[in-house]
């Protein structure tokens, strides 16, 4: 014996006044989308998970309709859950249903005795003011009148509805032939206001044998069973038809895939049956609800229990439509949401999809969010939507529709004050995510020879071909001219300020980055550059200088370049391996940087964060002074100026910071305390010219302090442990 499970419609379905079909088999599937979207630069707020779940369950239920259940027309006692029952009868009731205010008084004497439906006038339209349920098997009157959870699925027959006698008889016939009840009756009690109080008296059917074993199969994408025997069949033909149906059903169950329901849930569901000692419609409903809850909690929002089979044996077969993905469709849109031909190759986007979002897998909302994140990382699209919908060609299937709005491939910007920056970019060249980005910056665009810096970079991803997913290599080439103030040639705390030294770098760089995973990558390449050190007047400067007590300028400081001429030319290979498991959570960077954080529970404040930082750096071989390691500064040892503690060949830094989240005007921020120490490990003397000793710097130092984070700004008070003095600082970004 088989039964078909149905869920009651939710708010996503059409209103009750929409036209209804006369039977479940003729109902048309309705499609709904579970949308996951991203819009740059302002991501749209995603709808609540419960709403998405209801929409997806509704859509997949409509798309996976296999009919009204097997055997209900061939004497097997089959039928559907009560939603099928009531929607079927109510669907017939809706044919020619009058407006809510258009009904007739019953015209019957008001008595305590219920009136059978046969006494109602077939020409009248009766309004139902009450709907009561009476369980014949209840031990006492109070429990007998309690509403059975089975009736929670009822969608159409309700208080306030208007029905004719034929519609109510059709409702009764649907319940009688459903197989869910051993007996059922429907009677009306006349009310003084001309309405009827309906009472459904019922006794649930019981299957005492199906309590020993439980089996769950995925019947998604399988061909639906036959609708039923023809009405003109003879008794012999019907018996033959029943035998064929039994044989086909066994074949269907054997060929069905095993569902992904874990063993613990299987045992829990079987325990429901064993605990009650018998199988009833109420138990079937609880089994269905528990199984569907597990699927939906795990993100399988299209999964639903469709049928219960083998109820006349010792094994209950639960047939589940899990939501198998049949196709992934891509759609490009313009700003007005019109479908257009995109510039981006589909393979560029398709390789970003997680494996679980490909055909043959079960749709999971988590995989949809992951796909959204991966596609967004391409930085090619202003808006991304991942919309799963029921497959109209394959019942039980899910089509994943990805809608994309592309960024403008070319852009240019200029900022002139009179100094400023002119930049341009050409992205997604040839639709393969290649890019050319350039910028020119000058402190005085009217006289750019004073200082002009530029950078031009070309990126070529998918070096081995966009269709080769075994390797992911990206080639980058750039040419640059940058100027920075050197932190090596700065005075210590007990000296007058030293004249600044500027380091100009002009060169080219070519690298190949191979990504092993999204967290691990290996980069190797070649760098050619020319380095010049200049003073404040933009002249070549060969040595650092300091101001003597007499006020004179001493130029016998450490050499600014390795060659001693103020100009170095270098060519070197560069390689690095990166494994970055960090992520941005609660305003802090956590991951494999010795930052530890407990996951925040729902409704609880974010936890305190203890950050521990350690850094060692060393140099092997020749070292020009401008490349020496500077100790001190906002990213070295806080409380000191840039390079105030020294310049060395080796350095060791240790730091710890405790961050405590607080709420200020309904916004999350952090206060923190920190302590840091940095040392040159005695290696300052090995730097050419020993700039640490020349500028009377300590070579090591410690600091501690307190701070508060205000957006991207860090306001800190740090104590210089060497001098014993403190100062306030404003910093931007993170220390670690």
Instruction: Please indicate, yes or no, if residue 169 is contained in any of the structural domains.
Output: yes
Same domain, 649 and 623: yes
Same domain, 188 and 154: yes
Same domain, 153 and 261: no
b (16+ CB within 10 A) / e for 432-469: bbbbebbbbbbeebeeeeebebbebbbbbbbeeebeee
Q: How many CB atoms lie within 10 A of CB 317?
A: 22
Same domain, 468 and 593: yes
Task: Indicate if the pLDDT at residue 323 is higher than 70.
Answer: yes
Average pLDDT on 43-60 reads: 35
Distance from C-alpha of 59 to C-alpha of 321, rounded to nearest angstrom: 12
Q: Which of 142, 173, 204 is the last residue of a domain?
A: 204
pLDDT digits (tens, 9 = 90+) for 194-211: 999 998 888 888 877 666
The residue length of the chain stands at 736
Same domain, 580 and 637: yes
Q: Which of 290, 321, 352 is the last residue of a domain?
A: 321
CB 43 within 8 A of CB 383: no
CB 179 within 8 A of CB 257: no
Q: What is the pLDDT of residue 111?
A: 84
- Measuring CA to CA, how many Å separate 360 from each of 57, 68, 327, 355, 374? 19, 27, 9, 10, 20
Same domain, 161 and 236: no
Q: Which of 187, 204, 221 is the last residue of a domain?
A: 204
Peptide bond into 179 cis (omega under 30): no
Instruction: Please indicate, yes or no, if residue 414 is contained in any of the structural domains.
Output: no
Instruction: Please indicate, yes or no, if residue 43 is contained in any of the structural domains.
Output: no
Same domain, 196 and 226: no
Of 76-90, 191-205, 323-337, 655-669, the least confident: 76-90
Q: Write the burial class of residue 531 (CB in 10 Å: 0-12 exposed, 13-18 middle, 19+ buried).
A: buried
Task: Give the best-scoring range by mean pLDDT among 25-34, 49-58, 112-121.
Answer: 112-121
For residue 60, name the pLDDT band (cuts at 50, 70, 90): very low
Which CATH number characterizes residue 122's domain? 3.10.20.310
Task: Indicate if the pLDDT at residue 450 is higher than 70.
Answer: no
Specify whether the backbone of 476 is left (phi greater than 0), alpha (psi in -120 to 50) or beta. Answer: beta
pLDDT above 90 covers a percentage of the chain that reads 34
- Number of domains into which the chain is organized: 3
Same domain, 138 and 270: no
Distance from C-alpha of 354 to C-alpha of 375, rounded to nearest angstrom: 10
Instruction: Please indicate, yes or no, if residue 616 is contained in any of the structural domains.
Output: yes
Q: What is the pLDDT of residue 368?
A: 94
Q: What is the DSSP string of 473-540?
A: EEEEEEEEEEEEE-SSS---TTSPPPPP-EEEEEEEEEEEEEESSSSEEEEEEEEEEEEEEE-TTS-B
Here the tokens at position 377 are 């990382």
**Whose CA is closest to 319, among 343, 344, 340, 291?**
291
CB 670 within 8 A of CB 662: yes
Question: Which residue has better confidence, 321 or 66?
Answer: 321
pLDDT digits (tens, 9 = 90+) for 511-538: 999 988 877 888 889 999 999 999 888 8
Query: Could you tell me the residue range of the domain that residue 591 belongs to?
Result: 461-732
Quote the pTM value. 0.68
Instruction: Please indicate, yes or no, if residue 655 is contained in any of the structural domains.
Output: yes
Here the tokens at position 701 are 């130092």
Distance from C-alpha of 691 to C-alpha of 626, rounded to nearest angstrom: 10
Distance from C-alpha of 700 to C-alpha of 704, rounded to nearest angstrom: 14
Instruction: Please indicate, yes or no, if residue 707 is contained in any of the structural domains.
Output: yes
Instruction: Please indicate, yes or no, if residue 637 is contained in any of the structural domains.
Output: yes
For residue 262, name the pLDDT band (cuts at 50, 70, 90): very high
Task: Indicate if the pLDDT at residue 28 is higher than 50.
Answer: no
pLDDT digits (tens, 9 = 90+) for 227-261: 666 677 888 888 888 888 788 888 888 888 899 99
Same domain, 482 and 628: yes
**Residues whose CB is less than 8 angstroms from the CB of residue 670 and which lie 6 or more positions away in sequence, other chains included:** 587, 588, 609, 659, 660, 661, 662, 708, 709
Here the tokens at position 58 are 């509704």
Q: What is the pLDDT of residue 228?
A: 63
Host H or E run for residue 34: none
Same domain, 187 and 221: no
The phi, psi pair for 575, rounded to 5°, reads -150, 145
Q: What is the pLDDT of residue 577?
A: 83
Task: Indicate if the pLDDT at residue 426 is higher than 90.
Answer: yes
Same domain, 162 and 286: no
The phi, psi pair for 558, rounded to 5°, reads -65, 150
Distance from C-alpha of 538 to C-alpha of 504, rounded to nearest angstrom: 10
Q: What is the pLDDT of residue 227?
A: 61
Same domain, 183 and 221: no
Instruction: Please indicate, yes or no, if residue 291 is contained in any of the structural domains.
Output: yes
Q: What is the DSSP string of 159-195?
A: TT-EEEHHHHHHHHHHHHTTSSEEEEEEEEEE-TTS-
Q: What is the pLDDT of residue 150?
A: 63
């Amino acid at each position: 014996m088989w039964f078909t499970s149905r869920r009651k419609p939710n708010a996503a379905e059409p209103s009750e006044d929409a036209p209804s079909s006369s039977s479940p088999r003729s109902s048309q599937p309705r499609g709904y989308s579970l949308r996951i979207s991203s819009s740059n630069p302002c991501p749209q707020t995603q709808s609540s998970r419960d709403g998405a779940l209801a929409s997806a369950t509704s859509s997949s239920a409509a798309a996976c309709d296999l009919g009204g259940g097997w055997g209900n027309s061939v004497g097997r006692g089959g039928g559907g859950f009560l939603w099928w029952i009531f929607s079927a009868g109510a669907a017939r009731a809706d044919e020619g249903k009058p407006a809510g205010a258009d009904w007739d008084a019953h015209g019957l004497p008001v008595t305590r005795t219920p009136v059978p439906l046969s006494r109602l006038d077939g020409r009248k339209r009766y309004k139902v003011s009450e709907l009561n349920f009476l369980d014949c098997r209840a031990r006492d009157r109070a429990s007998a009148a309690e509403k059975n959870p089975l009736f929670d699925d009822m969608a159409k027959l309700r208080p306030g509805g208007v029905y004719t006698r034929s519609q109510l008889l059709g409702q009764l016939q649907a319940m009688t032939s459903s197989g869910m009840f051993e007996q059922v009756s429907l009677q009306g009690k006349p009310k003084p206001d001309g309405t009827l109080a309906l009472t459904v008296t019922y006794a649930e059917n019981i299957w005492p044998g199906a309590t020993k074993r439980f089996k769950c199969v995925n019947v998604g994408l399988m061909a639906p069973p036959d609708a039923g025997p023809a009405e003109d069949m003879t008794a012999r033909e019907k018996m033959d038809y029943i035998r064929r149906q039994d044989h086909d059903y066994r074949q269907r169950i054997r060929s069905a895939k095993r569902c992904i329901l874990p063993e613990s849930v299987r045992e829990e569901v079987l325990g429901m049956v064993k605990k009650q000692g018998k199988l009833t419609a109420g138990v079937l409903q609880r089994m269905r609800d528990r199984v569907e809850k597990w699927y939906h909690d795990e993100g399988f929002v299209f999964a639903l229990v469709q049928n219960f089979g083998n109820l006349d044996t010792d094994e209950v077969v639960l047939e589940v439509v899990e939501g198998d993905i049949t196709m992934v469709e891509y759609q490009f849109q313009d700003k007005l949401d019109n479908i257009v031909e995109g510039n981006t190759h589909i393979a560029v986007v398709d390789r970003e999809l997680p494996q679980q979002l490909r055909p043959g897998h079960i749709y999971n909302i988590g995989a949809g969010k992951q796909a959204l994140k991966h596609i967004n990382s391409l930085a090619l699209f202003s808006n991304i939507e991942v919309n799963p919908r029921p497959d109209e060609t394959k019942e039980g299937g899910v089509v994943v529709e990805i809608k994309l709005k592309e960024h403008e491939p070319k852009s240019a910007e200029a900022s002139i004050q009179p100094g400023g920056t002119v930049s341009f970019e050409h992205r997604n060249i040839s639709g393969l995510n290649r890019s050319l980005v350039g910028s020119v910056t000058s402190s005085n665009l009217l006289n750019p020879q004073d200082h002009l810096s530029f950078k031009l970079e070309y990126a070529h991803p998918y070096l081995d071909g966009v269709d080769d997913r075994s390797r992911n290599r990206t080639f980058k080439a750039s040419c640059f001219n940058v100027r920075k103030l050197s932190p090596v040639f700065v005075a210590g705390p007990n000296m007058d300020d030293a004249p600044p030294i500027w380091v100009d770098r002009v060169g080219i760089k070519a690298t190949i980055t191979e990504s092993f995973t999204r967290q691990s990558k290996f980069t190797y390449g070649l760098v050619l550059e020319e380095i010049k050190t200049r003073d404040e007047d933009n002249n070549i400067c060969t040595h650092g200088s300091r101001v003597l007590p007499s006020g004179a300028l001493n130029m016998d400081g450490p050499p600014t370049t390795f060659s001693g001429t103020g100009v170095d030319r270098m060519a070197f290979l560069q390689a690095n391996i990166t494994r970055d498991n960090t992520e941005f959570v609660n305003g802090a960077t956590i991951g494999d940087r010795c930052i530890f954080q407990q996951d925040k529970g729902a409704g609880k404040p974010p936890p305190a964060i203890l950050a521990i930082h350690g850094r060692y750096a060393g140099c092997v071989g020749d070292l020009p002074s401008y490349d020496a390691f500077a100790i001190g500064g906002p990213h070295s040892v806080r409380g000191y100026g840039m390079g105030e503690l020294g310049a060395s060949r080796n350095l060791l830094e240790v730091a710890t910071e405790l961050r405590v989240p607080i709420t200020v005007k309904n916004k999350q921020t952090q206060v923190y305390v920190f302590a840091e120490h940095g040392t040159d490990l005695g290696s300052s003397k090995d730097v050419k010219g020993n700039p640490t000793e020349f500028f009377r710097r300590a070579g090591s130092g410690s600091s501690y302090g307190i701070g508060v984070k205000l957006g991207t700004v860090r306001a800190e008070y740090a104590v210089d442990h060497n001098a014993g003095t403190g100062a306030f600082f404003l910093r931007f970004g993170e220390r670690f």
